[in-house]
Structure 1
């Protein structure tokens, strides 16, 4: 049995649970989290209006994006390493905590320089509040590390619990602030910071108890950093594809327009969050299983299509009624951008399954190519059409970019595994009819990794 640095077994219990049970639990937690997100969104919309919602979205999104951009792909790297070798948890924790310290300082410095440009169309008080919130980048980087280690442990129960704790605490704080008559953009930001800190502390304590504090390992750090750097292009490309619209819009459009679009993107992203919930656990589970994990990836892809299509269809039909009833007539102009975003959202959720399948195949740089294409289309499209086309142009550009990410991800996964196209069809009977030897066969020679380091 593998042991952590303290000599204790490294999370053998969670690793033995079936993927179906873990996946179902992840979807349920994601659904509950979505419900909390809707609650907080309603509180923000009803009490702060489009201007307040836009200011809050600009502050939180800017800091979140900088954290992702400077994260170096550490979450994926430690998840893969710990999935393959459960004995290295303590050394991974210490080595990466040290490596992320200067990265966090650089991210905060970059944020201070970029905020005046990124929030150029926002009032001075929004810019000042965003500056005060910037140190949360350091916590975001460390949280990515800790949650990545929990996934590598196959401890999906703790991972889901902590991911639920964050929005649950924020929702409770928002309700308390609203009841006390103190619900403002400033107090909402403070609530977000407090809950992020609590989640990080809880995850750190759990991991230290499990693995101990290992000695920094230069060789392990260098090896996992190489994997991380090959994933970082995918992380950066994914962040840009997903959130570049919200990052650029505050520089061109007033806060009310930002608030309308933020509502449309948050609702469309519910489709990605729920229908793509399996993507979170696909990579560690498939990596632990080796080539037989391909069956898991393809089954998850088909489930994602089914769930996503059902949710998006319902939201498309009832978008107008739901937004007016829940958020109020002031947000009616969010309906069209939302409907334009929905098809791309379903395909993007499906792409996330395939990209995590590439991570499990030790092909992180291959996964990067799909998001680089999406990033290029998003950036070019927004720069060309945002000023004249407004919210509709932003939604169209984003939906097209999501679609291209899926098409590219499917082609890359097929090439990396050598599987026929028919196994990608949303029909369980097709996959069930495939011989096990075909699903477990090595990839074509051209796509075979050159060695243990992968691509």
Structure 2
């Protein structure tokens, strides 16, 4: 660890702490909204809302083409915010149109087959949120690439906080039901976009526009972004497979119970997310493999150790926590949550290692672990859920996550122990460094 300057390490710790505190605050808001929806709408209504939101999140994930990941990587290295914004807005307008048309046709003809029990009007509301989710992902990634974590963490609180307030108002006092919850999600995304644009303005004013290099930015985005896109899509599929299959085989009421357990376990990945958020732009600028490996080892171990402690505590308190927050109708989620918690520490470790691989310009190395996780989740879920119900879905997800984590660790060790790949990969040489657009925090 001596190869890492103490000042830099302290700065990274501070940025991670800011990010983690923001995630805790966002967690409180999202849990609050989930509690309101779950108690007012019951398991069936909760399942319908979760399925409709999944439409927006899924479309955004599959159509972003790795642009947010590329923004975080490239803006940290050499490119201008104006280059990134020009490229991203052009891509957003095209991808939004494609997504709205394609998904609209699919909902019209196959909506009830793919999401049985979820009314078409709720699916349409979920679809309407998709362009906003996509735009917010692109804009926020620019703040991350600029390493402006103070504003980054502030703007990411706006959407969950606004959604919580609107859910309480529209569902709790106006009785708008599932539609009110989805409108709250949509408006929350819109307010988050407004806050992000305001936060980007100081960087925009000081940025230069190098029009001759715009083609170069597109090329680098295609190189890095498309490599990471497949991994992100597979990761999303593996995260949502259990919920989708539960809704398909057991219908929205069971899916609403499963969603509670899945949402809680997913929130415990915040430790690796905080580490990855801060480390990706940092590691992308490091040429020396020694400090890169030291940073990764330190924060991967921290994410795994702390999450293991939290998981043990939560597993023991799962019944009173779920009963107190969501009510007795959701106690069936307790064993599901306890099963899902088994994989959380391993996934936290693997995600930090995967961030290191992506920062080396080799995000495609994460493809095999992500594919293995997804295939196992789908195959096991298809076999176990019809007979094992909710626990079948939990077991399938846990086995898939653990297997994927082991594959990630194996891939990371293979890369870092190889003399040819331990340092900067070929991609590093293709991205200009030392540009005047590099920024400090």
TM more than 0.5? yes
1:194 paired to 2:171: no
Shift of 1:44: 1.2
In the aligned structure 2, how far is the partner of 1:117 from the partner of 1:403?
33
Give matches, 1:21-420, under 5 Å: 21-85=14-78, 87-115=79-107, 117=110, 119-120=112-113, 126-178=119-171, 180-211=173-204, 214=209, 215=211, 217-274=214-271, 276-290=273-287, 291=289, 292-418=291-417
Cα deviation, 1:266-295, whole Å, max 9, x if unaligned, reads: 111121124542222221122123332322
Give aligned pairs, total: 417
Shift of 1:178: 4.8
For the residue of structure 1 that corresponds to 2:361, the secondary structure is coil
Residues 27 and 277 in structure 1, CA contact (< 8 A), matched pair in contact too? yes
C-alpha distance 278-26 of structure 1, shift in aligned 2 (>3 A) = same
Cross-structure match for 1:436: none
Residues 51 and 118 in structure 2, CA contact (< 8 A), matched pair in contact too? no
Cα deviation, 1:408-446, whole Å, max 9, x if unaligned, reads: 111112222228xxxxxxxxxxxxxxxxxxxxx87359x
Cα deviation, 1:44-69, whole Å, max 9, x if unaligned, reads: 11111111111111100122112101
Once the two structures are overlaid, the 10-residue window that deviates more, 69-78 or 120-129, is 120-129
In the aligned structure 1, how far is the partner of 2:102 from the partner of 2:376?
25
Cross-structure match for 1:452: 429
For the residue of structure 1 that corresponds to 2:188, the secondary structure is helix
In the aligned structure 2, how far is the partner of 1:249 from the partner of 1:114?
20
Cα deviation, 1:1-54, whole Å, max 9, x if unaligned, reads: xxxxxxxxxxxxxx9981010011111111121122221121111111111111
TM-score, normalization by structure 2 = 0.88
Residues 121 and 252 in structure 1, CA contact (< 8 A), matched pair in contact too? no
In the aligned structure 2, how far is the partner of 1:109 from the partner of 1:388?
37
Once the two structures are overlaid, the 10-residue window that deviates more, 258-267 or 321-330, is 321-330
Cross-structure match for 2:3: none
Cross-structure match for 1:423: none
In the aligned structure 2, how far is the partner of 1:155 from the partner of 1:347?
29
Residues 111 and 134 in structure 1, CA contact (< 8 A), matched pair in contact too? yes
Once the two structures are overlaid, the 10-residue window that deviates more, 134-143 or 147-156, is 134-143
In the aligned structure 2, how far is the partner of 1:239 from the partner of 1:410?
20
In the aligned structure 1, how far is the partner of 2:404 from the partner of 2:111?
26
Cross-structure match for 2:437: none
Residues 416 and 448 in structure 1, CA contact (< 8 A), matched pair in contact too? no
Cα deviation, 1:373-420, whole Å, max 9, x if unaligned, reads: 11111122222222222211111111111112211111112222228x
Residues 40 and 172 in structure 2, CA contact (< 8 A), matched pair in contact too? no
C-alpha distance 294-324 of structure 1, shift in aligned 2 (>3 A) = same
TM-score, normalization by structure 1 = 0.85
Q: State the superposition RMSD in angstroms.
A: 2.4
In the aligned structure 1, how far is the partner of 2:180 from the partner of 2:98?
27
C-alpha distance 99-266 of structure 1, shift in aligned 2 (>3 A) = same
Residues 121 and 253 in structure 1, CA contact (< 8 A), matched pair in contact too? no
Cα deviation, 1:336-394, whole Å, max 9, x if unaligned, reads: 11111001122112211111111111111112222111111112222222222221111
Aligned match for 1:443, one of 407, 412, 421: 421
Residues 51 and 256 in structure 1, CA contact (< 8 A), matched pair in contact too? yes
In the aligned structure 2, how far is the partner of 1:166 from the partner of 1:365?
31
Unaligned runs of 5+ in 2: 1-7, 432-441
Shift of 1:117: 4.1
Residues 57 and 259 in structure 1, CA contact (< 8 A), matched pair in contact too? yes
